[in-house]
Amino acid sequence: MKNAVVTGGGSGIGLAVAERLRSQGYHVATIDLRPSDEPSAEAADVADRSQVDAAMTKIRETLGPITILVNAAGVDGFKRFAKLDFAEWQKVIDVNLNGVFHCTQAVLPDMVDAGWGRIVNISSSSAHSGQPYMTHYVAAKSAVNGLTKALALELGPQGITVNAVPPGFIDTPMLRNAEGLKRLGGTVDDHIERTPVRRVGRPEDIAAACSFLISEEAGYITGQILGVNGGRNT
């Protein structure tokens, strides 16, 4: 019951989640377009079901059945809605939403067989408030929150919990890239001023929440959206 897969484990939040779970004794594999140097790091595109299935098969051969899944792979995008072409829209939906569909379906049989499972989806605080120029991203992340709630009701009787963690501003390559491109609506320091706890989030803050939600003692928590955002729901 201790085999975990973390998508997006090559960078930022996914990398921190994988490191945290390893340090707690879980057997961890990661899936990423650009895998880390850690053991059991598989290269795959979460938006491509055949790549996901192949990666999960390899991971099962090495670790055994997968009963914990953290869906952290994601891409952002910034463009005025009127200028967004459908391919750009679809790419962001494909990775952030359809990737969750593929990875979750691919591991679900293991959890059902075990009568136990933990799924944590990394959505985004932008799903609370919206974000201009990120309609595709906000739509995908809002849908991930909805999927989380619906799937929790479906899988509860089988011993599987499904929760979402929407991060606020977390200091990762994704955030710094957006800052560099001046697409954040201010610098990271400006955002710190507007955050009640007066600091930017760390990937480890998200890893801590994931660690709790996949623990045995969190078994009565499902279908929840646990914001980790320094008190700022935007």
Question: Cα(46)–Cα(14) distance, rounded to whole angstroms?
Answer: 13
| Per-residue mark of binding to ligand NAD, 113-152 (x: CB under 6 A) | ---------x-x----------------------------
80, 136 Cβ separation under 8 angstroms? no
**Which one, 156 or 173, has the nearer CB to ligand NAD?**
173
The torsion angle over the Cα atoms of residues 158, 223, 145 and 99, rounded to 10 degrees, is -20
The reply to whether 45 sits near ligand NAD by the rule CB under 6 A is yes
- In the list 18, 21, 47, 155, the residue contacting ligand NAD (rule: CB under 6 A) is 47
- Beta-ladder partners of 4: 28, 68
* 14 SS3 class: helix
Question: Cα(137)–Cα(126) distance, rounded to whole angstroms?
Answer: 9
The reply to whether 13 sits near ligand NAD by the rule CB under 6 A is yes
The reply to whether 11 sits near ligand NAD by the rule CB under 6 A is yes
- In the list 3, 4, 6, 14, the residue contacting ligand NAD (rule: CB under 6 A) is 14
- Beta-ladder partners of 7: 31, 71
Number of residues that bind ligand NAD (CB under 6 A): 28
Count Cβ atoms below 10 Å from residue 58 Cβ, excluding itself. Answer: 15
| Per-residue mark of binding to ligand NAD, 146-175 (x: CB under 6 A) | ---------------------x-xx-xxxx
> For residues 185-214, which are near ligand NAD according to CB under 6 A?
none
188, 144 Cβ separation under 8 angstroms? no
Q: Which residues are at the interface with ligand NAD (CB under 6 A)?
A: 8, 10-14, 32-34, 45-47, 72-76, 95, 99, 122, 124, 167, 169-170, 172-175
